[in-house]
Amino acid sequence: MEVTGTTSRPRDDENSTVYLVEIPQSINEAYIIDKFSTAFGEVLCCEIGRQTRIGSLKFASHENAKKALAAESMLFSSDKGATLYKMNIKKKATATLFVEGNLESLYVTDIQNHLSKVFTGHWKRNVKSEIQDVLAFDCDFQAAEKTLVSQGIIYKQKFLTVYTSVIYLEELPPTATCETITNVLQLMLPTIRKIKVIVRSGEGIAVVLLPNSASKEQLLALNSIQVSRIPLILKQRFPLCSDAGPIELQCCLLDQQQKGYDIRGSRSKGLHRGNTIRITPTT
């Protein structure tokens, strides 16, 4: 497991431990220990997973950990102070890994048991995953680190690549395919060897799976890529156009002069460019 850390009088006490997610590559353990010690009290040790960029932070007391959890997040600046990063603080943190392959539901339990046996830790199928053609599993970040270092698993004499980071592209041109998007991404960043692209042509969306958080951070720094001479924005959140259902809008008058409307919505099937929505004000 590739985990880096700085330690001082470590204690085995989960009540004094908090977790940080999506830690940028530019921030190290010493920096986090200094900032959290200043804000909440003495920190004993910090571990950051190289692949997942999830951090484990152990405080000297339960009270200090409670104060950190109550804050919910902290803002950090880059070395030059030009960029601000927000890191969420959690009581528990799991990593979601995606196993590729044309897998039938019959083998899901077998694969889950295989992962638990080979890489230890607690593994659970993530049934809420919106990504098609892969199986999603939640596990503790130590188990995720071991799995990602191995780059995949051998299951029934087949090597199945494992991914952990996701980026999205939307409003794809009709000519965009998995191959064309993959070629563009690898041309922009040749250091990224493992990429899986899933195109959902009916929705104009592409899902890009990456083997580690560093690759995701490097791609997001590009902001956009060109596919068939059309610029596409790289996003880290799932686009509004999804199979979760249609947008249902409720519109109410803000005042009697009809100067504006209060519009509330819930997402379900997806809202696509070219759709027409008629909003009728209600009183």
Cα–chain center distance at 54:
11
pLDDT value at position 208? 96
With a cut of 50, list the residues of the chain below it in pLDDT. Answer: 1-3, 6-12, 241-283
pLDDT value at position 147? 93
| Neighbour-count burial of 172, counting CB atoms closer than 10 A to its CB (0-12 exposed, 13-18 middle, 19+ buried) | buried
pLDDT value at position 85? 80
pLDDT value at position 258? 45
pLDDT value at position 65? 96
Spatial separation of the C-alpha atoms in residues 152 and 161, rounded to whole Å? 4
DSSP 114-164: HHHHHH-S-EEE-TT---TTEEEEEEEHHHHHHHHHHTEEEETTEEEEEE-
pLDDT value at position 268? 38
Nearest to 281 by CA among 259, 245, 247: 259
Nearest to 58 by CA among 42, 44, 75, 78: 44
pLDDT value at position 82? 65
pLDDT value at position 176? 92
Domains, in order of start, for the chain: 3-90 (3.30.70.330), 94-163 (3.30.70.330), 165-233 (3.30.70.330), 241-283 (no CATH)
- The pTM for the full model equals 0.73
CA angle in degrees (0–180, nearest 5) for 133-175-217: 60
pLDDT value at position 105? 58
3-class secondary structure, 269: strand
